[in-house]
């Protein structure tokens, strides 16, 4: 079992949870993820690592409680235990050699972008962080992002905080004002990552996106997390989750991600056939 060391509610639906997982914490690199089961009858859910502390043996995850499994996970309190916490999984983000970066996070994707920005700044890179949210009420990690950035810009769709508009507007303004980025990292909603990739492709700027397709086992055996990259089938759990944003078939990804949208939003118990009708989420 893995003990909950700390739990915070960041906004109405988003939680930060720090888990005691010493073996996992020793091997983590930015961009990797874990597979989590709240209890023995829960489904597996992939959650990207937001922070870790090797000395304390802890790993921090940030997630939205919007479906049955994440609501069950959010019900765990400090001192309680979760059943499974497997990882680190996935290929770490390739950050070596980047000197001038723009790291872009959208919503909860900011939690995934934070370790990349922190690593880059700690290794001497100039890091512009652009974070986008629908409104002021759902902003998370502002202080943490500020500490990890050379410059931080927060955007809100409605203008209730920071710059009104989308992260892509700020990105384009930065590029056209002379920012010479050698890499842009975009993590968040798929339409946002596509829009960022479309802009950077015009300017020939290397772009890394972190994909979040339907993921089941996290080992590449189920085939659920397949994505089309440069005309080839890849699996986000073992080939990613990072990919070249200019080569991803975002249209196909958006269609696949929306296939089970209604079921994912259901909060009632679901009998899982994998457990012979005995398990539920």
**Pairing, β 14-20 against β 33-37:** unpaired
Mean pLDDT of 190-205: 95
Binned at pLDDT 50, 70 and 90, residue 1 comes out as confident
Q: Is residue 259 part of a domain?
A: no
Closest CA to 120 of 153, 92, 148: 148
Mean pLDDT of 231-239: 90
Q: Indicate the number of domains in the chain.
A: 2
Q: Is residue 251 part of a domain?
A: no
Which pLDDT belongs to residue 216? 77
Mean pLDDT of 170-175: 95
Sequence-separated (6 or more) residues with CB below 8 Å from residue 271: 277, 279, 280
Q: Is residue 266 part of a domain?
A: no
146 in the same domain as 113: yes
Averaged pLDDT score across all residues of the chain: 88
Binned at pLDDT 50, 70 and 90, residue 240 comes out as confident
Q: Is residue 11 part of a domain?
A: yes
Domain of 30, in residue numbers: 2-89
DSSP per-residue letters across 231-243: TEEEEHHHH-SEE
183 in the same domain as 134: yes
Q: Is residue 141 part of a domain?
A: yes
Which pLDDT belongs to residue 270? 56
Q: What is the CATH number of the domain that holds 11?
A: 2.40.30.10
Which pLDDT belongs to residue 254? 85
Q: Is residue 234 part of a domain?
A: no
70 in the same domain as 142: no
User: In 3-state terms, what secondary structure has residue 130?
Assistant: strand
Binned at pLDDT 50, 70 and 90, residue 20 comes out as very high
104 in the same domain as 82: no
């Amino acid at each position: 079992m893995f003990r909950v060391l700390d739990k915070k509610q960041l906004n109405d639906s988003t939680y930060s949870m720090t888990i005691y997982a010493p073996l996992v914490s020793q091997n983590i690199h930015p961009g990797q993820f874990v597979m989590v089961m709240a209890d023995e009858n829960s489904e597996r859910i992939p959650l990207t690592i937001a922070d870790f502390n090797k000395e304390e043996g802890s790993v921090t995850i940030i997630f939205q409680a919007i479906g049955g499994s994440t609501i069950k996970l959010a019900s765990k309190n400090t001192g309680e235990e979760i059943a499974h916490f497997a990882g680190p999984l996935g290929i770490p983000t390739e950050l070596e050699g980047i000197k001038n970066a723009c790291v872009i996070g959208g919503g909860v994707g900011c939690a995934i972008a934070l370790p990349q920005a922190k690593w880059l700044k700690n290794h001497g890179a100039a890091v512009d962080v652009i974070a986008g949210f629908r409104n002021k009420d759902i902003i998370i990690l502002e202080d943490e992002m500020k500490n990890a950035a050379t410059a931080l810009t927060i955007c809100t769709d409605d203008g209730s905080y920071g710059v009104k508009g989308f992260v892509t507007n700020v990105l384009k303004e930065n590029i056209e004002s002379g920012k010479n980025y050698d890499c842009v990292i975009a993590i968040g909603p798929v339409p946002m990552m596509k829009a960022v990739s479309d802009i950077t492709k015009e300017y020939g700027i290397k772009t890394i996106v972190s994909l979040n397709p339907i993921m089941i086992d996290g080992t590449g055996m189920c085939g659920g997390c397949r994505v089309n990259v440069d005309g080839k089938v890849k699996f986000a759990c073992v080939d990613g989750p990072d990919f070249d944003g200019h080569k991803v078939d975002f249209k196909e990804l958006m269609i696949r991600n929306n296939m089970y949208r209604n079921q994912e939003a259901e909060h009632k118990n679901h009998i899982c056939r994998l457990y012979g009708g005995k398990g539920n989420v």
